[in-house]
C-alpha cells in the first residue's frame, strides 16, 4: 500500500504544518516557504506504520515521527542556510523553534519519514541499512525555486535503527555542523547545516568500541541538501532483484534532480547513460577537491556516497596536518587503511562500479557503464591537472608539472611538513631569493626539517624557473594560489577544543570557528593564531588524531 499522494501540500505553508505561534519569515510581506513531498508522492512507501526495526521490502521509505527530547535548545544556527530556505533566523533564538528542530513539535499534518537503502561497508555487502537516526521533516522550495530536503539527524529510532537508539552525541553533531559549513565555504560540494540542538539528555556510547561505554550529551543537527539520495539507495532494491523499484527511483532522481538531462529527443537508454556519466563526473570533481584541501572522509562506504556529488555523512573524517597519503582518521580503518587519504580516488571508482552494478539491469548493454567508469578516471585526471596548476599558481598544467608536484609531496611527506601551511606560504615566496627558511613554521620535526632543508631549496629552484616561464603575472599567480590554498581549515584539534568547551555548556568556540571557516581563504589577522601547526598534545588525543564511527 503506497502512501496517498500529497500534491495538495504544495498549496500550504510552513506555519500550518509546523506549530509556530509566529511564522518564520524574513519579512511579513514575503510568502512563507512552500513545503513539498516529491519523494513521498512519487515513490512507494512502507505500509507498516510501526516504528520497530525490521527488514522493509518493496518500499523506499517508512513514515516515522521524531522521538521528543526533554530540554531542547538551539545552541548554534547558520543564517545563510536559513536564508536559502526563506526562514527568519531571528526566530531561531526562541524556545518554540528549538522544539521544532528537535522534532518535539511536529504537526499531525506533517509526514516525516526515514529512507530505506543498503550499501557496501569496508568492501562488503551489508544489506539493508537505511536512515537509522535521520528523519526527513519535509522538502522546502526555497530561494530561486531550489528544492531542499530538511532532515534531523539524531532524532530517534526508525525502522532502520537496528539495535541503535537513533540518537547522536554532541561531539559528532558539532563536528558535522562545523565541517559541513567549512566545506561549503571552501567551495566544495556538501550538505549544509541549519541548526545544532542540545537535547538536554544523556546517551550512552562506547566511543572506541573498547568496552568502556560512557554517558555523553545528546544533540540533533538539522541538515539540508537538495537530496540525500546515495549510491546505496539503488543498491538495495537491485540486490533484492526488484528491478521495478530500482527503475522508479532512477526515474524520480532524474526528474527532480537531473531534469536538465531530459528533452523530447532523448531515449530512455541515452537518458540513463547521461545520468551515470554525470554522477561519475560529479564524483571525480568532489574527490579532487578533497585532495586540494587535504580532507579525508574516513568512511567512504557506498551508503555515504551522494549521487549529487556532495560530501555527506560527516563521521570519522579528518584533515591532513603533516602530509601523509597513508593517513586515515578512522580507528576502524587503521589496520588496512582502505579509506586513507591517498586511496580516496580509487575507492570512489570502486563505489561507482557498485552503483553501475546496481543499475545494470536497466541497460541493454554494459558498455555505457564501462564508458562511464572510464569517464570518471578521465575527469579525475583533468581535475587533478587543474588542482596541481592552481595550488602551484600556474596558468595551466603542463606534463612536467606532475613531476614537480610529486617531488614536492614526497618531500612534505618525508619531512613531516604541514600541507596547509606550506602551500599557503608558497604564494609569498621571494622569486629572486627563494629559501626553505621561508617555511620555518611548516615543520613538525626539527631533525627532519634540517635533513631535507637542501632538498627543499633544490625544489624551490625548479619551481621558480617554472613560474618565471609561466604566462601569469605575479598578481594573478598570487590570487589563484590565495583562492585555492586555504589559510584556515577545520583542524581536528580545533573541533575537539570546541567540543570540550561545549560539553561544559560553553558553545562560544563553536560560533567562533563557524565565523572563521566562513572565510577560509582570507588572511583574517585577528585569527592568525589558528594558522599554526597542530599542537603536540593533539597528536594522540582522542578526537584529534583518530576517531570512530560511534556517534
Block mean pLDDT (10 aa), the chain, length 551: 34 33 38 84 97 97 97 96 91 91 86 97 98 96 90 98 95 97 98 97 81 90 98 98 98 97 88 98 98 97 98 95 96 93 98 98 97 98 97 93 97 98 97 96 97 98 96 96 98 96 97 98 97 93 74 57
212 Cβ contact list (under 8 Å, min separation 6)? 206
Q: Are 112 and 100 in contact (CB under 8 A)?
A: no
Q: Kind and range of the H or E element at 118?
A: strand 118-121
- Give the position of cell 579532487: 288
Active-site residue, selected from the candidate residues 36, 46, 131, 303: 303
Could you tell me the sign of the dihedral formed by the alpha carbons of 249, 32, 517, 500, in that order?
A: negative
Q: Are 134 and 249 in contact (CB under 8 A)?
A: no
- Give the position of cell 563536528: 175
Burial class (CB in 10 A: 0-12, 13-18, 19+), 521: middle
Q: Residue 33 is placed in which grid cell?
A: 516557504
Q: Kindly provide the b/e burial profile for residues 471-480, where b requires at least 16 CB atoms within 10 angstroms of the residue's own CB.
A: ebeeeebeeb
- Give the position of cell 570512530: 548
Return the pLDDT at 541.
83
Secondary structure letter of residue 121 according to DSSP: E
Q: What residue spans of 360-471 are helical by DSSP H?
A: 367-392, 399-415, 419-426, 446-451, 453-468
How far apart, in whole angstroms, are the C-alpha atoms of residue 305 and residue 311?
7
Burial class (CB in 10 A: 0-12, 13-18, 19+), 403: exposed
Return the pLDDT at 209.
67
Return the pLDDT at 2.
39
Domain boundaries, the chain: 7-229, 232-389, 396-482, 492-539
> Does residue 303 have an active-site annotation?
yes
Return the pLDDT at 105.
93
Return the pLDDT at 359.
98
Question: pTM of the entire structure?
Answer: 0.93
Half-sphere exposure for 121 (CA within 13 Å, toward CB): 9
Amino acid at each position: 500500500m503506497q502512501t496517498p499522494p500529497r500534491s495538495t501540500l504544495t498549496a500550504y505553508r510552513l506555519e500550518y504544518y509546523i506549530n509556530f505561534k509566529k511564522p518564520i519569515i524574513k519579512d511579513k510581506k514575503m510568502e512563507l516557504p512552500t513545503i513539498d513531498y516529491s519523494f513521498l508522492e512519487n515513490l512507494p512507501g512502507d505500509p507498516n506504520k510501526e516504528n520497530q526495526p525490521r527488514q522493509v521490502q518493496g518500499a523506499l521509505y517508512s513514515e516515522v515521527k521524531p522521538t521528543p527530547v526533554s530540554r531542547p535548545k538551539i545552541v548554534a544556527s547558520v543564517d545563510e542556510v536559513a536564508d536559502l530556505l526563506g526562514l527568519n533566523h531571528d526566530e531561531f533564538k526562541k524556545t518554540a523553534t528549538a522544539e521544532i528542530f528537535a522534532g518535539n513539535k511536529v504537526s499531525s499534518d506533517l509526514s516525516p519519514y526515514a529512507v530505506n537503502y543498503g550499501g557496501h561497508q569496508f568492501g562488503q555487502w551489508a544489506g539493508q541499512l537505511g536512515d537509522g537516526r535521520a528523519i526527513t521533516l519535509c522538502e522546502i522550495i526555497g530561494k530561486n525555486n531550489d528544492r531542499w530536503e530538511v532532515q534531523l539527524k539524531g532524532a530517534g529510532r526508525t525502522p532502520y535503527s537496528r539495535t541503535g537508539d537513533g540518537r547522536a552525541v554532541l561531539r559528532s553533531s558539532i563536528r558535522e555542523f562545523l565541517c559541513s559549513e567549512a566545506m561549503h565555504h571552501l567551495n566544495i560540494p556538501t550538505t549544509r547545516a541549519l541548526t545544532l540542538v542540545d537535547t538536554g539528555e544523556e546517551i550512552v556510547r562506547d566511543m572506541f568500541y573498547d568496552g568502556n561505554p560512557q554517558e555523553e550529551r545528546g544533540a540533533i543537527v538539522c541538515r539540508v541538501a537538495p537530496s540525500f539520495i546515495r549510491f546505496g539507495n539503488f543498491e538495495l532494491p537491485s540486490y533484492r532483484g526488484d528491478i521495478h523499484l530500482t527503475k522508479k527511483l532512477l526515474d524520480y532522481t532524474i526528474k527532480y534532480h537531473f531534469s536538465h538531462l531530459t528533452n523530447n529527443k532523448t531515449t530512455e537508454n541515452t537518458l540513463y547513460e547521461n545520468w551515470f556519466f554525470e554522477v561519475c563526473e560529479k564524483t571525480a570533481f568532489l574527490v579532487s577537491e578533497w585532495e586540494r584541501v587535504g580532507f579525508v572522509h574516513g568512511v567512504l562506504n557506498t551508503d555515504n556516497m551522494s549521487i549529487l556529488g556532495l560530501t555527506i555523512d560527516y563521521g570519522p573524517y579528518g584533515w591532513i596536518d603533516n602530509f601523509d597519503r597513508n593517513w586515515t582518521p578512522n580507528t576502524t580503518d587503521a589496520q588496512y587503511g582502505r579509506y586513507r587519504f591517498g586511496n580516496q580516488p580509487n575507492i570512489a571508482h570502486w563505489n561507482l562500479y557498485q552503483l553501475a552494478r546496481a543499475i545494470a539491469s536497466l541497460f541493454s548493454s554494459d558498455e555505457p557503464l564501462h564508458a562511464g567508469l572510464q569517464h570518471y578516471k578521465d575527469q579525475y585526471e583533468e581535475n587533478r591537472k587543474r588542482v596541481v596548476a592552481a595550488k602551484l599558481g600556474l596558468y595551466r598544467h603542463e606534463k612536467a608539472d606532475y613531476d614537480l608536484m610529486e617531488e614536492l609531496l614526497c618531500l612534505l611527506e618525508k619531512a613531516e611538513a604541514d600541507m596547509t601551511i606550506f602551500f599557503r606560504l608558497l604564494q609569498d615566496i621571494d622569486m629572486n631569493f627563494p629559501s626553505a627558511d621561508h617555511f620555518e613554521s611548516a615543520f613538525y620535526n626539527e631533525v627532519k626539517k634540517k635533513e631535507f632543508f637542501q632538498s627543499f631549496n633544490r625544489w624551490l629552484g625548479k619551481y621558480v624557473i617554472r613560474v618565471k616561464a609561466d604566462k601569469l603575472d605575479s598578481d594573478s599567480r598570487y590570487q589563484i594560489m590565495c583562492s585555492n590554498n586555504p589559510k584556515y581549515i577545520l583542524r581536528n584539534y580545533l573541533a575537539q577544543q570546541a567540543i570540550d568547551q561545549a560539553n561544559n555548556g560553553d558553545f562560544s568556540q563553536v560560533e567562533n570557528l563557524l565565523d572563521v571557516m566562513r572565510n577560509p581563504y582570507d588572511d583574517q589577522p585577528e585569527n592568525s593564531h589558528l594558522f599554526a601547526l597542530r599542537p603536540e598534545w593533539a597528536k594522540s588525543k582522542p578526537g584529534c588524531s583518530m576517531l570512530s564511527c560511534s556517534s
